[in-house]
Structure 1
Amino acid sequence: MTLRAIAQTIPALETSDGAGVRIKRSLGQRQSIRMDPFLMLDEFGSDEPKDYLAGFPAHPHRGFETVTYMIEGHMLHEDHLGNRGNLRNGGVQWM
């Protein structure tokens, strides 16, 4: 196995998305940083369900795919078409 050095560390910036959900965005916040093929890299987590009740209003996913990896906890995801998935520890959702 070949070990590689870390070339760059990109600190996440706190922001909000959707209907006010608080997130930390590493990629996609500053247009000068390009990490092709990735558009965004977000982290969000809270022990308070109310922090996510407003959610993310209907939005298209045309031309790209989203991958969600649940490190710890669980999340019930439902889109505006009624598709649902329950993501748990170590689970991956690919849309």
Structure 2
Amino acid sequence: MLIFSVFKTLTDQQVTVELKNDLSITGVLKSVDQFLNIRLDSITVLDEARHPHMMAVKNCFIRGSVVRYVQLPAEHVDTQLLEDATRRGKMH
């Protein structure tokens, strides 16, 4: 549940989610669950010319199984939480 814990600390921060269909969406992270289902508000699409149907969408729910990458704001990532979880993982 390391990833889930990291994402919970990033609520209300701007993230970029790249989907398996090459759609990249930037928005404010509102919620995430243990399956990496993500809710974003105030979204923008990085390649608007390729995805013009997304121009009118202001918020979205992304199913975790379609997520390829999530770009996190480095300044808001809790590195201590990551280091502690990594140490716990090596002990087991």
TM range, normalised to the smaller chain? under 0.3
Larger Rg: 1
TM-score by length of 2: 0.27
**Higher helix proportion (structure 1 or 2):** 2
Which has the higher relative contact order, 1 or 2, with Cα contacts under 8 A spaced 6 or more apart? Answer: 2
